[in-house]
């Protein structure tokens, strides 16, 4: 499944500009503890969090994550957005809770894998 295919079902708003939304998603990961994400998320995962500072971009870039979804309308700092654009990391925002995002994402990816 590609990023652009999850945008509507998850009510995602693309916050970054000039990023690749054709990226393939292999899975998802949800956590707000950066060190935990670094230890457990996998390449091409979509990361769901309420964190919104620049360090989320560094973690996503390090792990080659497909995208970051900032849930619950958490405010995203302009410096974070700029850094994500430089690193070609899509950041999405949604009003849905982390729980809702993970449930919908899980169902979408499960259908994809059969």
- Among the residue ranges 9-13, 19-23, 48-52, the one predicted with the least confidence is 19-23
* Number of domains within the chain: 1
49 pairs with which residues across the strands? 70
* CA separation for the pair 39, 99 (Å, rounded): 21
The domain of 51 spans 3-113
The mean pLDDT value of the chain amounts to 95
Query: Over the range 78-104, which residues count as b (16 or more CB within 10 Å of their CB) and which as e?
Result: eebbebbbeeebbbbbbebebebbbeb
**Residue 83 corresponds to which tokens in the numbers above?**
């850094």
CATH code, 18:
3.40.1390.20
Kindly state the percentage of the chain with pLDDT values over 90: 92
Instruction: Give CA angle at 60 (55, 66), nearest 5°.
Output: 150
State the pTM of this model.
0.95
Band of the pLDDT at 110, cuts 50, 70, 90? Answer: very high
Model pLDDT for residues 34-77, shown as the tens digit of each residue: 999 999 999 999 999 999 999 999 999 999 999 999 999 999 99
- Nearest one of 102, 50, 45 to 76, comparing CA atoms: 50
- Nearest one of 75, 72, 73, 74 to 98, comparing CA atoms: 72
């Amino acid at each position: 499944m590609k990023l652009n295919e999850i945008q509507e079902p998850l009510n995602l708003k693309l916050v970054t500009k000039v990023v690749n939304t054709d990226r393939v998603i292999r899975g998802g990961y949800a956590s707000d503890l950066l060190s935990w994400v670094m230890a457990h998320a996998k390449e091409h995962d979509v990361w769901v969090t309420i964190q919104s500072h620049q360090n989320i971009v560094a973690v996503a870039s390090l792990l080659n994550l497909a995208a970051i979804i900032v849930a619950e309308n958490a405010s995203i700092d302009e410096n974070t957005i700029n850094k994500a654009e430089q690193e070609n990391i899509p950041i999405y925002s949604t009003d849905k809770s982390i729980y809702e995002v993970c449930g919908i994402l899980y169902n979408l990816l499960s259908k994809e894998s059969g």
